[in-house]
Amino acid sequence: MHVGIFGGTFNPIHLGHIRSAEEIRQICALDHIYFVPAARPPHKDAGELVSSRHRLRMVELAVADEPAFSASAVELERAGPSYSVDTIRSFRAMLPSASLSFILGLDAFLAIQTWKDYRTIPWLCNLIVTSRPGTSHPRCPLPVDFQSVFCYDPVLRMYTHPSQSTLVLREISGLDISASAIRRDIRNGQSVRSLVPPAVAAYIADHDLYHRGW
C-alpha cells in the first residue's frame, strides 16, 4: 500500500488543498492520503492559527466523503513542536509495511535544511515535492547534504536514495486559493463558500472563526 502524508496548518482547509491532493494521488499512484494538521508548527507564526482542534475538525469535514482521504490527529496527540520527522516516524510505526511518501511544496523543500533531523527523512519515506506549472524543473537543485546521497534517474524522472526511497518533483495545477485570502475575506464579511467545502463553510460560520483579528 502506498500512503501519502500531507501536512499543513489547514487554516482553514480549502478546495485548493483537496484538488492538489487528488492530483498528487493520481500522478503518484497513491492508495491513500492522510491530511495532518500541524498542532504547533515550528516554522509558522501561531498568531493567526485557530485552535488545532478546530483545524482538525474542518479537515475531517472536508474529507468525509472522500474514501481515499483521511484526517490524522497524530500531531495533536503529541506534545511539543510539530516536527515533520516525528510525524513520519509515527506513521512508520503505525503502518510498518506501507510505502510512505511525504508530500511538501517546493518552497518548503528548499528550506528543508532548517528542519529537525532532515537527513533522516529519506531513510523513513519517499518525498513528493510539488510546484505550480512553470515554477520548477525535474532536476531542481537539491540541498547540499542531499546532493551526495541522491542519484537522478533521467528515464524515471526521479531521484533515488541509498535507502531505496525516491524523491520526485511534480508540477500540479491545483487551484489559486490561499488560506490567508480566505481569512481576510471572512474578516471583511465576504462569502467563502466557493473556496472551501460546504461543511467547512458551515463550521466556520457556526463557530465564528477568523473574525476576531486573525
Rounded to the nearest 10°, the torsion over CA 197, 65, 33, 193 is 0
Of 128, 74, 75, whose CA–CA distance to 99 is shortest? 128
Cα 101 to Cα 91: distance, rounded to the nearest angstrom: 10
Tell me: the pLDDT tens digits for 79-134?
899 999 999 999 999 999 999 999 999 989 989 999 999 999 999 999 999 987 66
What was the pLDDT predicted at 129?
94
pLDDT at 164 over 60: yes
Cα 169 to Cα 203: distance, rounded to the nearest angstrom: 35
Q: What is the average per-residue pLDDT within 3-29?
A: 97
CB under 8 Å to 45, separation ≥6 — which residues?
Answer: none
Cα 166 to Cα 203: distance, rounded to the nearest angstrom: 38
Angle, in degrees to the nearest 10, between helices 15-27 and 52-63: 60
pLDDT at 214 over 60: no
Helix (H) or strand (E) segment spanning residue 69: strand 69-71
Specify the amino acid at residue 16.
G
Cα 14 to Cα 9: distance, rounded to the nearest angstrom: 11
- Look up cell 524543473; give the residue: 137
Instruction: Sketch the domain layout of the chain as residue ranges.
Output: 2-176
Which superfamily is assigned to 2-176 in CATH? Answer: HUPs (3.40.50.620)
Q: What stretches of the chain show up as alpha helix (H) in DSSP?
A: 15-27, 52-63, 84-94, 106-110, 121-124, 144-147, 179-187, 198-206
Tell me: the pLDDT tens digits for 168-197?
999 898 778 999 999 999 999 999 999 999
β-bridge pairing 126-131 and 99-105: parallel
What was the pLDDT predicted at 141?
72
- Look up cell 477568523; give the residue: 210
- Look up cell 463558500; give the residue: 193
Q: What is the average per-residue pLDDT within 43-65?
A: 90
Cα 34 to Cα 39: distance, rounded to the nearest angstrom: 15
Tell me: the pLDDT tens digits for 129-156?
998 766 655 566 788 889 999 999 989 8
What was the pLDDT predicted at 100?
99
Per the rule left: phi > 0, alpha: psi between -120 and 50, beta: everything else, 145 is alpha
What was the pLDDT predicted at 200?
98
What was the pLDDT predicted at 11?
97
Cα 138 to Cα 3: distance, rounded to the nearest angstrom: 22
What was the pLDDT predicted at 175?
78
What was the pLDDT predicted at 17?
96
- Take residue 20 and report the three cell numbers written for it: 492538489
Q: What is the average per-residue pLDDT within 51-62?
A: 98
